[in-house]
Structure 1
Amino acid sequence: MFIEISNLKKQYNNGPMALNDISLRIGEGVFGLLGENGAGKTTLMRILVTLMNQTSGLVNMDGTIINSKNASKIRCKIGYLPQELGLHPNLTIRETLDYFGILSLMSLSDRTKQIDILLEETNLEEHANKKIRQLSGGMKRRVGLAQAMLNNPSLLVVDEPTTGLDPEERIRIRMLLSKVSKGRTIILSTHVVEDVASICNKLAIMEKGKIIFTGSVPELINIANNHVFTKNVQNEAELIQFSKQHTITNSVYTSKGICVRFISDFKVEDSVTENSNIEDAYIYVRNLMDKKVSK
């Protein structure tokens, strides 16, 4: 599976561009779309799964152009988990998956076989007869992933799958996505940096409808090398003053005052150069974009 996105634009009702000249190539594995709410991630995904038409530009999926004419052909290859998936509270997990299978025109034998496989893969086997209203948020997200994989899609698109979940459930969802990525393409939209760092082969950072970075996690981290520092400040008043001049990514209270981790284009007095991580790099790239826009 490959996806080639060329000069994609989306504009709502003559307003600002929700997507502004997006070009990407996405191959097999987990591809991360990282960005704040409103960056354009959901709009891009809704176009990819044929729920919305672009204003201009092309999307080529394995040699088929995504448009209204080819929508039914494309949808056979796609599984989609939106940020908000409506699940009937009085249906059990198994009944819910069976219902989605019926909507996908799957035969009874195919539904039964695939549901059994997915219940095992998502660790929901022992909960199969629980009603949706009895489930935790994390379990509901796993049910959502199971329904998205019912037709064994070549492309799985998931929107903010770990938002609002506790750390243990977030890890479980990430491990599940990594497990099912073999032999297919997964597009993971998130604003949680740790999700991308954990499982994505490549990623793109979106900001205000534009792509401001695309590449691997190590390539992103390298961009911020020699731009991440720590420095001790004496008190909160000094911390507030320092934050007006530099972008702070973390601060820790110690016996020597407050240890501040920050992004800067230059080394300041009494600071120590640190190895960058993906969170540092993400903030650094967004700062670079802001500086270009302000010029």
Structure 2
Amino acid sequence: MFIEVSNLEMQYHKGTKALDNISLSIGEGVFGLLGENGAGKTTLMRILVTLMNQTSGTVNIDGTIINSKNASKTRCNIGYLPQELGLHPNLTVRETLDYFGILSLMSLSDRKKQIAILLEETNLEEHANKKIRQLSGGMKRRVGLAQAMLNNPNLIVVDEPTTGLDPEERIRIRMLISKISKGRTIILSTHVVEDVASICNKLAIMEKGEIIFTGSVPELINIANNHVFTKNVQNEAELIQFSKQHIITNSVYTSKGICVRFISDFKVEDSVAENPNIEDAYIYVRNTLHKKVSK
């Protein structure tokens, strides 16, 4: 599946722009939408899954321009896991998936066959007869992913799937998303940098309704080359003063003082250049590069 988003804008009443001239090309694999809450990720995804109409611009999915006339047909080939998926606490996992299958107009035989496959794929077989209220947060997210896959869609859109999960469950969800991406397009919206670094082929960074970066993870990291340094400062007072001049990404207290990792356009005295990681690059693009472009 190929998605082409061109000059997309979403403007609410009173002139507030949630999306400002968004253009993206998204192919097969996992595509990450990275940005803080309020960056416009959810609005973009709701438009992509035909739950919201844009003010202007186009969404082209496999050669078809999506509009109000073909939205319902397009929706049948899209799986969507919103950040908050309402699951009835007294239904079992199997009953929940069957319920969503009925809403999707699936036949009884198709529902039984697909639910059996999905319970195995999401490692929920042994929990199939548990009620939703008995599940952990991570298991509920897996149920959510299973319902998004019921129609075996070519496009799956997931919104903040790992938020609030413990590290082990976050890894399980990431591995599951990576597993089901074969032969599909998955759009993953998150503010968790590690999620994008782990499984995304390409990503876009959103900031206040705009796209400020698109490319691969290595391309993003490469942007921050020669802009990440470490330096020892003596005490808290010096640290506070240093933070007024540079963007600090980490600080570690040692026997020699405080080792500060920071972002800068130039090497400062007694600092050491470091290889950037994806978190450094994300912060650099948001706080340094983007501000230069905006001026």
TM over 0.5: yes
Deviation, structure 1 residue 236: 1.1
Question: Following the alignment from structure 1 to structure 2, what is the Cα–Cα distance between the partners of residues 167 and 192?
Answer: 12
Question: Following the alignment from structure 2 to structure 1, what is the Cα–Cα distance between the partners of residues 14 and 204?
Answer: 26
What do residues 30-80 of structure 1 show as CA deviations (whole Å, max 9, x unaligned)?
Answer: 000000000000000000000000000000001111111111111111000
**Consecutive unaligned residues in structure 1, runs of 5 or more:** none
Question: Following the alignment from structure 2 to structure 1, what is the Cα–Cα distance between the partners of residues 79 and 53?
Answer: 18
Match of 1:178 in 2: 178
What do residues 109-143 of structure 1 show as CA deviations (whole Å, max 9, x unaligned)?
Answer: 11011101111111100000000000111110000
Deviation, structure 1 residue 226: 0.3
Deviation, structure 1 residue 15: 2.4
2:131 maps to 1:131: yes
Deviation, structure 1 residue 291: 2.3
Match of 2:199 in 1: 199
Helix, strand or coil at the partner of 1:68? coil
Match of 2:68 in 1: 68
Structural RMSD (CA): 0.9
Helix, strand or coil at the partner of 2:232? strand
What do residues 217-249 of structure 1 show as CA deviations (whole Å, max 9, x unaligned)?
Answer: 000000000000000111111111110000000
TM-score (norm 2): 0.99
Match of 1:189 in 2: 189
Question: Following the alignment from structure 1 to structure 2, what is the Cα–Cα distance between the partners of residues 174 and 241?
Answer: 39
Question: Following the alignment from structure 1 to structure 2, what is the Cα–Cα distance between the partners of residues 283 and 238?
Answer: 22
Q: 1:90 to 1:75 in 2, by over 3 A?
A: same
Q: 1:179 to 1:294 in 2, by over 3 A?
A: closer
Helix, strand or coil at the partner of 2:258? strand
Helix, strand or coil at the partner of 2:13? coil
What do residues 187-230 of structure 1 show as CA deviations (whole Å, max 9, x unaligned)?
Answer: 00000000000000000000000000000000000000000000
Check whether the contact 2:30–2:181 (CA below 8 A) recurs between aligned residues: yes
Question: Following the alignment from structure 1 to structure 2, what is the Cα–Cα distance between the partners of residues 221 and 47?
Answer: 29
Matched pairs, number? 295
Question: Following the alignment from structure 1 to structure 2, what is the Cα–Cα distance between the partners of residues 72 and 290?
Answer: 38
What do residues 145-187 of structure 1 show as CA deviations (whole Å, max 9, x unaligned)?
Answer: 0000000010000000000000000000000000000000000
Helix, strand or coil at the partner of 1:87? coil
Deviation, structure 1 residue 17: 1.1
Helix, strand or coil at the partner of 1:174? helix
Question: Following the alignment from structure 1 to structure 2, what is the Cα–Cα distance between the partners of residues 3 and 294?
Answer: 28
Deviation, structure 1 residue 289: 4.8
Question: Following the alignment from structure 1 to structure 2, what is the Cα–Cα distance between the partners of residues 288 and 235?
Answer: 26
Question: Following the alignment from structure 2 to structure 1, what is the Cα–Cα distance between the partners of residues 256 and 93?
Answer: 54
Helix, strand or coil at the partner of 2:70? helix
Deviation, structure 1 residue 294: 6.2
Check whether the contact 2:212–2:290 (CA below 8 A) recurs between aligned residues: no
Deviation, structure 1 residue 292: 3.1
Higher alpha-carbon deviation: 88-97 or 235-244: 235-244
Deviation, structure 1 residue 293: 6.4
Match of 1:96 in 2: 96
Match of 1:153 in 2: 153
State the identity %: 91
Question: Following the alignment from structure 1 to structure 2, what is the Cα–Cα distance between the partners of residues 14 and 106?
Answer: 42
Deviation, structure 1 residue 14: 3.0
Deviation, structure 1 residue 290: 4.8
